[in-house]
Amino acid sequence: MAGTSSATTALDSATRELTRTVLLFSLDGRARPRPATSEALVDRLDFGRFAPHLRTSQAVLPVPVLTMTLTPEDLRPPHGDHGLALASADLLVLATPRGDVTLVVDCEFAADTAPDALAGWLADTCFERRGLRLGGRPLLDVVNERLALPTPLAYGQNVHQLVFPGGRLLRDLLSAHLTDDARGHILLNAIVYRGRMPAHRTPDAEGALPPNLRNHGVTLSAHGRGVSVQAGWAPHVENGLVLVAVGMISALAVLQRTRLAAFDTMRANERAPMTDSPSEVRSLISRLSAGVNELQLDLAFGVEAYVDSLLIPEMLMEAFQSSLRDTLGIRDSLENSARMVERLTSVISARSAALDAELAERDDRRDRTVSALVAAATLIALPPTLLLAFFGVNGTDVHDDRSILDLGTYGTAYALAWLPFVVLVVIGYVLLRRVGRRSGSLLSPPDGRPAPVPAPRSPSGS
């Protein structure tokens, strides 16, 4: 499609003859790219002087997992072509290293493009994108058939459409904007808002202007939340802007998925009964921790990696990226989602600590029970052992004609065997009572006053 523009290689501006429209659709589902067999995006599209930056960051960039050159007559919006004639159409399915998928449909229109017709075409392909058909079949069915994924992809919530005006539309927009002609603002309103906002504009109605309007002399850049109008740029700049928008749409889709997954994790934690066995609780904690780890990876490598200017460190790209990021609210959403994940981590850590404390208490109770049983067995076994030793001695105090149960004869022996252990039990009981009373006096200060709370120490330790 670069052949439809003329430009000097040293310039980022150009004159485009055919209007180009790039449709970006976020898709629900995952498609893991295979770098060994996938074509690099920088080899697929012309990025001009931005190519060295992108080759350096190639491991981070989305990878085409499906490319198709479409027959223009086969691509049909749900309500017809609105009088527009497609000259060419390409389809790409891009997947990030994390498997997040964006569908790209790159179109060029033949002849002049009427703003009202273009606005209607944009509205159809956005709000009724599920009705897009290719060769008589739903477009996404064809894509899923070609990809043959275990779980079919579905349209997500996010759409962004980039319009690169050409021919008469380009000349009208640039000339009207340079002279501050109200007609140019009406055209922009019709395209940026897909014909869904009032197009009338007077010199006093500044609020009707599309947000983030910029004037670069021979170029024009304006965008809303769902549509960007980029006029007068060279093909490599157009492709750079498309890549920036792909990153923003993909990041927004990941944020929305992360938010829903965080709520699912919270509900799973709340529904889990505390009466489960320790092994079941430990298994739950492992599942929740694995889920939170995935959320953290999504936020780091699915969002943060695409919302700054590191991929294409150029002021021209950064201006559009920053403006679109603010319009989509990605920065605030990222901060809020990160806090939610941090608090989930804290909750899971607290459940893990409670489990460890419960297991430690159980082990302590078991150890005390075993110790008590050993002590009781020893206490019970020693006196009979002493008595058996006494009766087993061949001495004058043991009479062959007397029963060992004759207390009149052997009462003194029984008393000497049992009395020390009875005294030991009594002394232990008295000491334990004293320790219990002393602990109670420490926990409950006199006069019924609450126990003093020490003042917090300053960070310096003073």
Return the pLDDT at 389. Answer: 63
pLDDT in tens, 158-209: 999 999 999 999 888 888 766 666 666 788 888 988 887 765 544 443 333 4
pLDDT above 90 coverage of the chain, percent: 29
pLDDT at 404: 56
Choice between 355 and 204, residue whose per-residue pLDDT is larger: 355
Same domain membership, residue 94 and residue 66:
yes
| Domain presence at residue 5 | no
Burial 45-59 (b: 16+ CB within 10 A, else e): bbbbebbebbeeeee
Which of 23, 26, 25 is CA-nearest to residue 302?
A: 26
Q: Which residue has the higher pLDDT, 271 or 70?
A: 70
Please tell me whether residues 170 and 243 are part of one structural domain.
yes
Same structural domain for residues 336 and 280?
Answer: yes
3-state secondary structure of 76: strand
Using 50, 70 and 90 to split pLDDT, how confident is the model at 2? Answer: very low
Q: How far apart are CA 129 and CA 155, in angstroms?
A: 8
- Give residues with Cβ within 8 angstroms of 282, minimum separation 6: 355
Which of 41-50, 201-210, 279-288 has the lowest average pLDDT?
201-210
Same domain, 86 and 219: yes
In contact, 71 and 219? CB cutoff 8 Å: no
Q: What is the mean pLDDT of residues 238-250?
A: 94
Contact 124/42 with Cβ under 8 angstroms? no
Q: What is the pLDDT of residue 101?
A: 95
Cβ-contact 96, 253 below 8 angstroms: no
Per-residue pLDDT, 196 = 77
Question: Residue 453 falls within a domain, yes or no?
Answer: no
Q: How confident is the model at residue 301 (pLDDT cuts 50, 70, 90)?
A: confident
Q: How many domains does the chain have?
A: 3
Element (H, E) at 109: strand 100-109
Could you tell me if residue 401 is inside a domain? no
- Could you tell me which residues are beta bridge partners of residue 241? none
The whole-angstrom separation of Cα 451 and Cα 434 is 21
pLDDT in the model for residue 107: 96
- CA–CA gap between residue 244 and residue 318 (Å, rounded): 9
CA distances from 162 to 126, 257, 360, 393 (A): 12, 24, 61, 108
Domain C-terminal end among 247, 273, 296: 247
Same domain, 307 and 233: no
Indicate if the pLDDT at residue 281 is higher than 60. Answer: yes
Return d(Cα 428, Cα 370) in angstroms, integer.
18
What angle (nearest 5°) sits at the alpha carbon of residue 212, between those of residues 167 and 188? 35
C-alpha to C-alpha distance for 11 and 239, rounded to whole angstroms:
15
pLDDT beyond 70 at 17: yes
Flag whether pLDDT at 462 surpasses 70: no
Res 11 pLDDT > 90 = no
Which domain-ending residue is among 247, 269, 289?
247
pLDDT of residue 158: 94
- Kindly state whether residues 240 and 179 are assigned to the same domain: yes
Per-residue model confidence as pLDDT tens digits over 437-457: 654 444 444 555 544 444 444
Q: Which of 167, 156, 190, 188 is nearest to 24 (CA)?
A: 156
In a domain, 441, yes or no: no
**Per-residue pLDDT at 216 exceeds 70:** no
Record the tokens describing residue 411, joined without a space: 């009462």
d(Cα 26, Cα 226) in Å, to the nearest integer?
12
- Summarised one tens digit per residue, pLDDT across range 29-38 is 999 887 655 6
Percent of the chain with pLDDT over 70: 73
**Do 226 and 269 belong to one domain?**
no
Q: Which domain holds residue 108?
A: 12-247
Q: Lowest mean pLDDT of 94-98, 118-122, 427-431, name the range.
A: 427-431
Q: What is the CB neighbour count within 10 angstroms for residue 339?
A: 10
Asked, for residue 89, whether it belongs to a domain, the answer is yes
Q: Does residue 19 fall inside a structural domain?
A: yes
- pLDDT tens digits for 224-233? 899 999 998 9
In 228-252, which positions are buried (b, 16+ CB within 10 angstroms) versus exposed (e)?
A: bbbbbbbbbbbbbbbbbbbbbbbbb
User: Do 265 and 198 belong to one domain?
Assistant: no
What is residue 388's predicted lDDT score, i.e. its pLDDT?
A: 57
344 lies in the same domain as 372: no
Please indicate, yes or no, whether residues 53 and 138 belong to a single structural domain of this protein. yes
For range 302-318, the mean pLDDT:
84
Q: What is the three-class DSSP state of 359? A: helix
Asked, for residue 21, whether it belongs to a domain, the answer is yes
Task: Say whether both 300 and 388 belong to one domain.
Answer: no
Domain co-membership, 289 together with 192:
no
Q: Is 44 helix (H, G, I), strand (E, B) or coil?
A: helix
pLDDT for residue 393: 59
Amino acid at 153: L
Instruction: Give the ranges where 272-329 is alpha helix by DSSP (H).
Output: 278-297, 315-328
CA angle 237, 243, 247 (to 5 degrees): 145
| Least trusted range by pLDDT, from 170-184, 344-358, 380-394 | 380-394
Mean pLDDT of the chain: 79
Least confident of 237-246, 250-259, 384-393: 384-393
The reply to whether 341 falls in a domain is yes
Predicted pLDDT of residue 206 = 39
pLDDT of residue 14: 85
